[in-house]
Amino acid sequence: MTNKEKYKNAFSVLHTSDDFIMEVEKMKNSYKKRKRNIVAAAAAAVAMCVVVGGSTSAYACNVGNIQRHVQIWLKGDQTDAIMNISSDGSVAEYEIIYQDEEGVEHTINGGGVAMEGVSGEERPLTEEEIMTYLNEPDVRYEEDGSVWIYCKDKKMEITDKFDEEGVCRVQVQGEDITYYITAYYKEGWNMSNDKFID
């Protein structure tokens, strides 16, 4: 028996599961349905743009303020916090106040707008949209040079996963969504729900 025959004989034991073709058919049908829904929803398309930064400037003419007790994920730990949301009618600013294990108070600030419809009219992010954003994966560059990805209660060190150009691409599986994260060593990162963005 030749090496090729031996190899083929050994690997011929690998078989897909019985419902393999049925699963693909289901995926096909789901794709068709999704495509139809996208066409139907096109007229009312909503695009969201989140802008996050360390800005702490207050809006001069707030038209809405909300305070909530929330739980957010910080470095893999669920943490009680107070979230203040203020809005001037076009931009939402949020402030997250929480205490660490030693009782030291910390504040995270950010803000965002959503652009709606074909005209791109801006509106403030809702409370729910901000919470969704806050619970998405996060990449942290630590002082000791290590790099970590956090997604709710999960975390993983990716320090050794950067290539020669200092780029690391990681796919993170959320509860019902996949995140494609491209991290640039100590130079930030970006994330998409359908592909790696370079």
The tokens for 148 are 């970590």
C-alpha 103/C-alpha 178 separation (Å) is: 35
Decide if residue 177 touches another protein (CB under 8 A). Answer: no
Question: How many CA atoms are closer than 13 Å to the CA of 93, on its beta-carbon side?
Answer: 18
User: 121-124 and 105-116 as β-strands: parallel, antiparallel, unpaired?
Assistant: antiparallel
**Choice from 96, 170, 182, 183 touching another protein (CB under 8 A):** 170
CB 54 within 8 A of CB 95: no
Applying CB under 8 A, the span of 5-13, 49-57, 89-97, 115-123 interacting with another protein comes to 5-13
Q: Please state the separation of Cα 66 from the chain's center in Å.
A: 24
Decide if residue 17 touches another protein (CB under 8 A). Answer: yes
Per-residue binder mask for another protein (CB under 8 A), 52-71, x = binder: --------------------
Residues that bind another protein (CB under 8 A): 2-4, 6-11, 13-17, 20-21, 23-24, 27-28, 31, 151, 154, 156, 161, 169-173, 178
